[in-house]
Amino acid sequence: MAVSPTKQKIFEEAARLFQEKGYLAASMRELAQRVGLQVSSLYSHFGSKEELLQKICFDSARAYLEGMKNVEESSAKPSEKVRQLISLHIRIATTDVTSVTIFSDEWRHLSEPYLREFLGIRKDYEKRFSKILQQGIDAGELKEMNVTVALFTILTSLRWLHRWYPEKRGISVKSLESEILRVLFDGIKK
């Protein structure tokens, strides 16, 4: 479904505002000022601040799930699928920095039942990633290791990107991906 340019602008500015101030400190009044609308007009596009947070969190979750589905359906070996998933995280974190910030840091402010649904999506993703890691171990492509420790080491190692990369620090996305893959992937590959 197509989103109007105004709604898209509100969404993007909300993500920036939440990133800058944190969800709790951000106000709909400030968001309205940023997008050049009256607060009442803003509410005609989005019913609440939490609705914006929900959209940001679930849109980001969908990006990860679509990437996971593509990796799972590929004919690649398990070790290559792990490499593809690490690259997926890097691509998402460097192309949608604002939304990933909200997805990674502000999801805790979702109310029920959205919080439970979001956590269910995360658990499902982690379970699927773990399965691919285990397949790589079973196929002799990855070192013997505790899959849970490996999974959370990989994911935690990638969660800093959205905070650091916007500054770019003189490194291209391609170089960044290459370095991260060398450090993370080569550490678990046989």
Domains assigned to the chain = 1-47 (1.10.10.60), 56-188 (1.10.357.10)
Write out the chain's pLDDT in tens, 190 residues: 567 888 889 988 998 899 889 999 999 999 999 999 999 999 998 889 999 999 999 999 999 999 999 999 999 999 999 999 999 999 988 888 777 888 888 999 999 999 999 999 999 999 999 999 999 999 999 999 999 999 999 999 888 887 777 565 678 888 888 988 988 887 777 7
Cut 0.85: pTM above it = yes
Residues 6 or more apart whose CB falls under 8 angstroms from that of 36 comprise: none
Give me the helices (H) in the chain, please.
5-21, 28-35, 39-45, 49-73, 78-95, 97-101, 114-138, 147-158, 161-164, 173-188
Count CA atoms within 13 Å of residue 35 on its CB side: 27
